[in-house]
Amino acid sequence: MNQPSRKPSSLYPGIILVIALLSLFGKAHAHGGVAIEEDICMIRFGFYKAHFTVYQRQTRGGEEFCEDLPDAAPTTFFMGYLHNSLKDVPVDFRIIRNTTDLGRYVKWRDLEKIGDLEPMTVFYLPPERRADGMLKIHHTFDRKGNYIGVVTAPHPSQDKIYRAVFPFQVGNSRFIYIALAAIIAVFLFLQWRFQPINIFMRWLLLRRNRAS
């Protein structure tokens, strides 16, 4: 019995779609002053560096996020300082609405052109020294949308100011992309895995019809 060979080319459109969806996830996953380093979310500003984690415990339990958040809900931002000198300087934390047309590519120089950030600010934690090396803030997002986080700290001895600027989304669609990619990947696998069985069943049915 000569069975038709598999046609992997028929899977190509689905594979390309999965790659495209995952690329959207990758682009949305980390940007600005926040990035994934060895599977750990880090924030950098100047020579300073800290662990950075975001939680939405009321809606997502103990799930950790690096930046983009799935829900407009109570949110906790946590920074764990990795430089002792950062404990000795006042650090502030600001969240503003992203009203620029630069999306995820906004930089501090773009915000400087705006001037007064107060009308765009939805949360502001004034500068404060934290001897324990931990910064934790709680904020409830009441609407989905695009936001920008800005963390500011001075140099311990020089007249320099360092900032981390990280755009992020609240209630963003990248989680939908992940789910769609997973569903399509499972479908493609099942189609590839059971294609020989389907061919054999069609062959049996064809023989039965011819015999009758």
Contacts of 7 (CB under 8 A, 6+ apart): none
Residues 5 and 108 in one domain: no
Residues 115 and 185 in one domain: no
* 0.85 surpassed by pTM: no
Residues 24 and 88 in one domain: no
Cβ-count burial 5-28 (b if 16+ within 10 Å, e if not)? eeeeeebeeeeeebeebeebeeeb
Residues 83 and 6 in one domain: no
Residue 173: count of CB within 10 angstroms of its CB: 14
Per-residue pLDDT tens, the chain, 212 aa: give them: 454 444 555 555 555 654 554 554 444 444 558 888 888 999 999 999 999 999 999 999 999 999 899 999 999 999 999 999 999 999 999 999 999 988 888 999 999 999 899 999 999 999 999 999 999 999 999 999 999 999 999 999 999 999 999 999 999 655 555 555 566 665 555 555 555 556 656 666 776 666 66
Residues 62 and 163 in one domain: yes
- Report the number of distinct structural domains present in the chain: 2
Look-up of token digits 């062959």: 203
For residue 15, the enclosing domain spans: 1-29+173-212
C-alpha distances out from residue 139 to 5, 79, 91, Å: 58, 14, 17
